[in-house]
Every structure is written in structure tokens, then in C-alpha cells.
Amino acid sequence: MSEGREVRLTFQPDWDPGPADPGRGGLLARDPKVRTLLKVLVSYPEVHYVLPDRIRLDPASDPRLLDTIQRFLERQSWLLRAVTVR
């Protein structure tokens, strides 16, 4: 079974889900803007799960979807410094 595709995120310092306070930052932050972003991401059926610093997608995900998600996330400069698709 393949692991799937993964989108890794590097956050702005104020949003980093560092080890000192896991669950308080990153994509699991309680901020309304981040919660809305999370709702958009999980609306894609190809998304298997979301962790504070990554998104796991189905291995058979269309490369165009990955590109769309990457471009969408890269526009969230208030939250993210870098987006890497693996």
C-alpha cells in the first residue's frame, strides 16, 4: 500500500506548531481564519488527514489537484512561509 502524497508546510513564526505547544499552532490553530482554511482543505475527498504541519492525500490524487492545493496554500502568506509537495 502506498503512503500517498504529502504537502509539508513551514509556518510564519507566530503560527509555528512547535513542540512546546503542539495543537495550538499550524493547521490546528483555533484562529477563525485557520479553521476556515482547514474546512476548505478537508472538503477535498482526496485528503486523507491533516496534521498541524502537513496534509496527506490519496496516492492516486490528480497532479493538477496537488498543484491547485499548493498554489492556494502559497497565497496564504499571513500563515505560511513555504509549501512543499512530496
> CA of 13: how far to CAs of 6, 46, 68, in Å?
22, 29, 25
pTM, entire model: 0.85
DSSP classification of residue 15: G
pLDDT tens digits, 47-64: 999 999 999 999 999 999
Number of domains into which the chain is organized? 1
Q: What is the DSSP string of 17-77?
A: --TTSTTSSGGG---HHHHHHHHHHHTSTTEEEEETTEEEE-TT--HHHHHHHHHHHHT-T
Residue 7 has pLDDT above 70, yes or no: yes
Quote the domain boundaries for residue 22.
Answer: 5-85
